Amino acid sequence: MTQKQHPIGSGFTAASTTDDVIKGIDLSGRNAVVTGGHAGLGLETTRALAAAGASVTVGARDPGRAAAALAGIDGVEVARLDLMDPASVDAFAARYAGRPLHILVNNAGIGAVPLARDARGYESQFATNHLGPFQLTLGLLPSLRGAHGARVVNVTSAGHQLAGIRWDDPNFATGYDPMLAYGQSKTANILFAVELDRRWAGDGVHGYAVHPGIVISTNLGRATPEDERRAQQRAMRLIDESGRPIIDPDREKKTPRQGAATAVFAATSPLLDGIGGVYLKDNDIAPLDDAERTIEFGTEELVLPGVAPHAVDPDAARRLWDLSVRLLGR
């Protein structure tokens, strides 16, 4: 397989915002779905797509709360979606049936949470960050095909460098580690995009995985007690002593509009026409990062140049797809 991880020279940078990357793009008549599109990076993604003319459906566990957060943004509707509940995922896809879907942003996710399991016994990060979006995307496939040109964008993380897929124990029946579980789920986001593109590009559906950088105003990590989270953020120099965010895009530390830009770029840029199955960061395709390294989260050194080979391996991507289908019982 030809290695696809080559920057294309988009002209954008780590500091570019959603407004920068979508400037001049008209999404009138286009439909989009953004999971968790009412908070953090998802809210900024929704705002940018709607401002360009798209009709956006936001999937949220609490539709009332989501609707309140989205008040004042035209062209947006809200539908209930709980990614840990297979029945909720199926119901969302069924409600959407009959409409073409041009953009699907699998944005909602959780990170580094204490061990929890869904009703099937599946580990919560793998279930929420991968299996739920995988099931949703399969359920929306008729709508994606009906768009005659669609993009699926999975929001991942440089945290994929922490772990590959635990093939013998993906649900951590033994030895749970919240960061390894997070890393596995983020690797799964990328492998899913790789295999989706291989399977569906012929139908006009392309897949992308995007790393947004670090945006501390998001809800990710909310399971950590506030005092502990703030101490970690100060140690990583994400906030100053008064608690204000430190913004340094070249070192991954971004505003919400900078963080969401890569997802919006992947979802809309004509520079990516005909290209898919790739990992992006800083509004461009990232290079392959095959350096051996030990990743230490909780330190200031956060910049990782590209995507780890294990996350774009086509054999692993096929294997994960088959495993996911089995776990869903489809």
Catalytic residue numbers read: 182
Question: By three-state DSSP, how is residue 209 classified?
Answer: strand
In angstroms, rounded to a whole number, what is the distance separating the alpha carbons of residues 269 and 162?
29
> What do you get for the CA distance between the two ends of the chain, in Å?
28
In angstroms, rounded to a whole number, what is the distance separating the alpha carbons of residues 322 and 182?
21
> What backbone torsions phi and psi does residue 70 show, to the nearest 5 degrees?
-95, 0
Query: Cβ atoms within 10 A of the Cβ of 298, count?
Result: 11
Question: By three-state DSSP, how is residue 128 classified?
Answer: helix
The secondary structure of 7-66 as a DSSP string is: ----S--TT--HHHHHTT---TT-EEEEETTTSHHHHHHHHHHHHTT-EEEEEESSHHHH
What's the burial of 29, exposed, middle or buried (CB within 10 Å: 0-12/13-18/19+)?
exposed
